[in-house]
Each structure stands twice: as C-alpha cells, then as structure tokens.
Amino acid sequence: MKSEADLTRFQLIWLLIAQALAIFPLFFYLPKWLPVIWFTTLAWRVQVYRGVWPYPASIIKTGVAFGCLGLLLLSYGFRVNVGSMSTLLCFAFVLKLMEVRKQNDLYLVIFVAFITLPLLFLFSTNVLAGAYVAFCFVFIMACLTAVQHNRHKRFMFPAWVNIKVIFQALPIMVLLFVIMPRLNPLWNMPSLQKNASTGFSDSMSPGSFSELIKSSDIAFRVTFDTNRHGDIAVPPKSEWYWRGLVLDHYEANQWTPFHRGWMNREKVFGADRPPDEWELEALNQLREYRYSILLEPHNYRWLFSMRVPFSADTGIGEVTFTENYLVKSPVRVNRRIEYSVTSSPDYSLAKYTLSNRDVGINTQLPDDGNPKARELAASWRRQNLSSFDAVQAALSFFQSSFTYTINPPPLGMDSVDEFLFDTQKGFCEHFAGSFVFLMRAYGIPARVVVGYQGGELTQSGYLIVRQSDAHAWAEVWLAGEGWVRVDPTASVSPLRIDQGFTETLSGADASMYWGGGFSRLYYSLQKNLDLFNYHWHRWVIEYEDKEQQKFLSRLLGGVDAWRIAVFLLGVSGCLSVIYLWWGGVRAKKKYAYPVDKHYQVFLAKLSSVANGSLKIEKGDTPTVIADKAVQVFPYHQRLIRDITHLYTEICYAGKAELLPKLHESVRQFKVLHLKL
C-alpha cells in the first residue's frame, strides 16, 4: 500500500514506543555504546519533529553509520556471531529512525523490528522473555494500525485494537505451534555466545569442583516414568548416582579419561541400546527405572544416567553407549535436550573378566610420587588382604579422622599424600581420587567416576539436580562381581549421600554457601518458580519432534501429512467461522439500539406474566401492543402508555434524550407484581 503522507505525531510516537520496547532488552546483551547511539538518535528525531533541528545531511548520516561500524569492529572485531549480527541490526534499526519521514518509511522500520524483537530469544528463553515479546508485539502491530485509520484523537486506540487481535490470534498460534513440523537447521548459523561450558570439565584435579559446588544452577531435571508394570518407580536415594564420565588415567595430580589413541579414542557403540555381545541382562524387573532427563546445555557430549543403562532414546539422534556403561550424545549438547533412559541397578553380564589391556589401564599410576600412599597400600598387601578387604581397609581409613569440607586447604605436588596424611580435609574429589590411587597402588583395577549425586525431589515428582550436586566417586573391579561402586565420601560424611549436599553443611560452610537468610528465601522462591519453569521448558522450549509426534499421534491417531492438513484446515475453518460470527452476529447484538433493548425487556415482562392471554402478532405496532396490554393489565395503563409513548418518541422522533426516562420506566414496570 502506497502512502506518501507524512507521519503524524501519533504515528511517530507509536513508532518510537515500538522501537524502544523492541531493542530495550537487547541492551543487556549487546555493547554498552548502543543505548548511547539510540538515545542520541531519539533526541535528534524528536527535535526534528519539533522543527528545532533539520534532518541530518547525508554526509552526517554516512559519518554516523561508519562511526557505528567502527564501534562494532572495536567490540567484536571481525567475528561473525549472534552478538555482532544483532548489534549490526540494532544500529541499522536505530539509525533508520532518522530517515523516517513518510508512512512508507515506517513500514521498513517496523519490519526490522519484527526481526530484532525475536533476537531476544537467542539470549533468553524464559517465560518473562516470552511475555515481554508478546507485549512488544502488540505495540509494533499498533504502529501499523496507527497508519490505517483516520481517528487520531484517540491515542490508545491502535493498542486496544491489537490486544483484541492478538487474543484472537493466540488459539491459531498455539495450533500452529503444536502442529507445524520442526525442521533441522537449514544451514549453520554463527554460534551463540556461550560463556564457558557449565558443569565439570573432562579432567579432575584437587579443587576443580569447589566452584561448581557453590553454584545452585540446575544441571538437569529427571522425571520418572512408568515402568513396564505401569508403576512410577522412583529409585531410593542411595541409587541417585548420575554417571557422566569415567576418569581412568592419573598423571600430574590430575584424573583424565584414558587417551586410547587416535584410532579409537573411546570404544563407542552406536544404536540406542548396549551392544548384544555384552549380554547385559536386568536381574530384577521390579527395580527397573525409566526416566527422562531434561539436560541443561553443558557443551560436552556426555549425558547422565544411572547405572546401568539398558536403553536410551533422544530426539537429537542416536545415543551412543561407551564400554564404561555411559551414554553419549552424538553431538555436543549446546542447547537444552531431553532424553529418556531405562536403567536397572541389578544386572548380569556375560563375562566378568577384564582384558589385560583394561587391567593395565585401570591400575596405571605414575612411576613416582606419593610414596606414603604407596607404602600404605603395600602394607595392606603384606597383610595379604583380599581385594574386598583392601576396599574396606581404605574406607575405614577414611572414616578414622577425615573431615568433609568444601574449603579444603590447598595441596602441593604429592597431593594424595598431603591429603591422606597431612590435611585430611576435603570433599568428594579428594576422597575419590585418593581412594582410587590407593586401590591402584594395591593392584585392584579402579577408576574415578564423575557426575552428580542426589537431587531434590519436588512435589510434582521430578528431581532437580543442581551443579552443587556434582560428585566424584570410585568404581573398583572385583572379580566375579564386575565394576562395583564405592563412594569413599559416604564413609566420611554419610549424610552427604543420604540427604544431599545442601543439608550436609553446617556452621561456617553453610553460611558461606547460603550467603545469609535472604538467599534462603530466594532459594525457596526459586524452587517454586522452578516448577513453572520446568513445564515451560518441557512443553514450550523443548517441544521437539519427539513430543510433537507423540502428542499428535495421540490427538489425531497418526502423524501423516494428510491428517495434519485436515486437522489444520478443520480447526482454522472452525475458528474463522467463530470469528466471523463474532464480528457479525455478536456485533449486531452489541450495537443494537439501546432503545430496543429496553423495549424488549418490557415486552418480555409482558408476555411472561400474561401467560398466553396477550397475543402479539408479528406486524403489531407499539401502539397496538399497548392497546392490547392495557386490556389485559388495566391497572397499569399509565405506565404501559408511558413506555410506549417514550419508545415511539425516541424511535420515530429521534428524541434520544428521553432514553434515561424510558430506562427508568421499564425498570419500574419490571419490578411490578402484575396480576391478571
């Protein structure tokens, strides 16, 4: 639509409001100079409108544009990422404001707003962002409406219109959201600005967990599903060990996954279940747990599962199984994903033997260092302890005089020795690391497992696992039993395992973790909010192919294209009819003459009381009706005549000012106790 008219004051104000709302939240994520540019432009535009300043000359505009490009380079260099692209778009959006004179220019700015506004979702996906964008959308559409009508007296009019429009559009939007197929990315986009990956990294050294443990960020959420008996089985707390990564190489005080050469970094099996040759079998079907995990992005490939996963399924492609009974994602987890796993703690394996190579890997230790620890292991060996007894000996050694704290003193070169014999203060990673060291020194294959332990069961039955639940424990190989989980931390601080991390802390540790009462309040508030957030993420943010197909096949009995098309057409057809009816029929009712409304009330009262003795024909004029009514109700002649007179005066003589009188008379008539 061509519209060469100048912008009116209202249109300009609407435009400024829409633009300000659309870019405001981005200011938090983009360089700090952007708001300055915006504000300057805004001030200039207002001055132009007031006629104080002229439109900027093209040389100034060019200069400003290049200046902004320069600032962009200063902030981002030549990196092409979401930040730099958004900034470019934003300042183009802002500077365009200077050029807006005609109504056609307004459309261009509005279209840029349509692209700028959803950029917020790249930075934030919470409910508030969603609500905010919906709110802004009303104003952007209001801008368009402000051009399309001639009533410029009522400033808020475009907003009211659009609030109505958007409420009517919501059902269709929900329908589209549920139905429209999701495609895979069409091409690679510049990556999101990710702050360093959250969670732990793929190595563990003393102290590497300490920051993590202070964080109350959510790592993942677990929902337990019904198992094959139809029960929702929640495993006991002692089973809440979420395995993420196995560290089986020790070097320079650091545990890392064993580097298995470039050919086969780690034996990985495709498919959504463990390889058949393991002949893995669940022994106790009652202890089979099915659960789905909504994992926050951590930028690594490992996923978390309980021991031992029998099958796993994810929407992002096939899950892979490693030989350490871990599940892995085929791609890095850089967005929230959901996957489901079936696990059982009671299982049998075809063979309970380790290959020589695996024994070698799992008993590897550096050639020197930590002599005291080695000596301790050697003393057990001299006592001829069995593997099982050696484990017990190590655990009772930890029980004797160790303290659990998240503020351990720093350790030097021989960190295992210093921890075991000097400081004796530490948390999971110290215990697990030194325990595995002792086991290996003794000759038992052992390894460190990192992941999360525990979680917080919410009232609605799902488990929140936070970064503070990060944990490290050990697995030792016992002949005839296979890999057995040993948690040395549990023997020092059993509460840590039974009650979860936050309840274990006391005194100084607790106050440090909580940061006072206010934080506690915040924490409980956060807990309630999380329930909402959980559903928001599960049903809105993560509504992907898998859920969509599940939902659609339940709704439509299938996900064939024709079913979707028929459903879409059917529902949108119904909605259209409803809307048309609203616009037509309902409007008629709403705008029916008020005078008729009152008169109808009068007629309704008459006919309900007269109970058939008053016969009103179709063509009867008000006067005829009045004559008939007076015959039936002679005592109320005056009122009946009054009402009829007022009605005819208003209708046929246009005396609208009599309307309140009619209203009053009809009201009087309505409360009469008419008797035949």
Partner 1 sequence: MSIQTAMQARFFRWIDKHVPKVTQHTLTLHNVYVFPSRLGLAYLLVACLVWVLGTNYQNNLILAFVFLMISVFIVSILHTFLNLNRISVRYTGASPVFVGDTVEINFELAADKNHYGIKARWQDESRWSSVDVVAEESSVYVRKAAISVPMQAKKRGWVKPKRLLLESYFPHGLIRCWTWLNWDVHILVYPKPVEVPEPESIVIAQAGTDNHPVSGGEDFSGLRNYQSGDSLKKVAWKIYAKGKGLYTKEFDQQVSKELWIDFDSIVAPNLELKLSGVAYWIMRYHQQGVDYGLKLANQAFQPDSGDEHMHRLLTAIATFDYS
| Residue ranges binding partner 1 (CB under 8 A) | 1, 107, 111, 114-115, 117-118, 121-122, 125, 129-130, 133-134, 137, 141, 144-145, 147-151, 158, 161-162, 165-166, 168-173, 175-177, 180, 182-189, 192, 335, 540-544, 572, 576, 579-580, 583-584, 587-588, 590-595, 656-657, 659
To partner 1, the closest distance from the beta carbon of 161 in angstroms equals 5
Nearest to 70 by CA among 42, 53, 86, 91: 91
Residue closer to partner 1 (CB basis): 70 or 660: 660
Give the Cα separation of 468 and 212 in Å (integer).
Answer: 6
Give the Cα separation of 305 and 240 in Å (integer).
Answer: 9
428 is a catalytic site residue? yes
To partner 1, the closest distance from the beta carbon of 312 in angstroms equals 20
Contacts from 381-385 at CB under 8 Å and sequence distance 24+? 381/442, 381/443
DSSP secondary structure letter of residue 421: I
To partner 1, the closest distance from the beta carbon of 114 in angstroms equals 5
Partners of residue 102 on adjacent β-strands = 6
487 is a catalytic site residue? yes
**Per-residue buried b or exposed e for 84-98, using 16+ beta carbons within 10 Å of the residue's own CB:** bbbbebbbebbbebb
CB 241 within 8 A of CB 188: no
To partner 1, the closest distance from the beta carbon of 142 in angstroms equals 9
Give the Cα separation of 70 and 78 in Å (integer).
Answer: 11
Percent helix, strand and coil across the chain, each to the nearest 5: 55, 15, 30
To partner 1, the closest distance from the beta carbon of 111 in angstroms equals 5
Residue closer to partner 1 (CB basis): 525 or 656: 656
Q: 150 by DSSP, 3-state: which?
A: coil
Can you spell out the DSSP letters for 516-559?
Answer: SHHHHHHHHHHHHHHHHHHHHIIIIIT--HHHHHHHHHHHHS--
CB 416 within 8 A of CB 433: yes
Nearest to 407 by CA among 309, 505, 516: 505
SS (H, E, C) 601-649: HHHHHHHHHHCCCCCCCCCCCHHHHHHHHHHHCHHHHHHHHHHHHHHHH
Amino acid at 146: A
To partner 1, the closest distance from the beta carbon of 2 in angstroms equals 8
Residues 6 or more apart whose CB falls under 8 angstroms from that of 178 comprise: 543, 548, 551, 552
Residue closer to partner 1 (CB basis): 78 or 591: 591
To partner 1, the closest distance from the beta carbon of 447 in angstroms equals 35
To partner 1, the closest distance from the beta carbon of 143 in angstroms equals 9
Residue closer to partner 1 (CB basis): 148 or 399: 148
Question: Crossing angle, helix 33-50 and helix 58-76, to 10 degrees?
Answer: 170
CB 425 within 8 A of CB 405: yes
Catalytic residue among 272, 469, 487, 642: 487
At residue 358's C-alpha, the angle toward residues 263 and 491, to 5°, is 125
**Per-residue buried b or exposed e for 164-180, using 16+ beta carbons within 10 Å of the residue's own CB:** eeeeebeeeeeeeebbe
To partner 1, the closest distance from the beta carbon of 175 in angstroms equals 8
Residue closer to partner 1 (CB basis): 127 or 614: 127
Catalytic residue among 68, 428, 430, 636: 428
Residue closer to partner 1 (CB basis): 147 or 294: 147
Residue closer to partner 1 (CB basis): 201 or 299: 299
Partners of residue 242 on adjacent β-strands = 452
Radius of gyration of the CA atoms of the chain, in A: 37
Give the Cα separation of 436 and 130 in Å (integer).
Answer: 48
To partner 1, the closest distance from the beta carbon of 429 in angstroms equals 34
Residues 6 or more apart whose CB falls under 8 angstroms from that of 458 comprise: 464, 527, 530, 531, 534
136 is a catalytic site residue? no
Residue closer to partner 1 (CB basis): 160 or 352: 160
To partner 1, the closest distance from the beta carbon of 592 in angstroms equals 8
φ, ψ (nearest 5 deg) of residue 266 = -160, 135
Catalytic residue among 471, 537, 598, 636: 471
E-assigned strands of 127-240? 218-225
Residue closer to partner 1 (CB basis): 162 or 504: 162
Give the Cα separation of 147 and 8 in Å (integer).
Answer: 9
Residue closer to partner 1 (CB basis): 108 or 512: 108
Residue closer to partner 1 (CB basis): 174 or 624: 174
Residues with catalytic function? 428, 471, 487
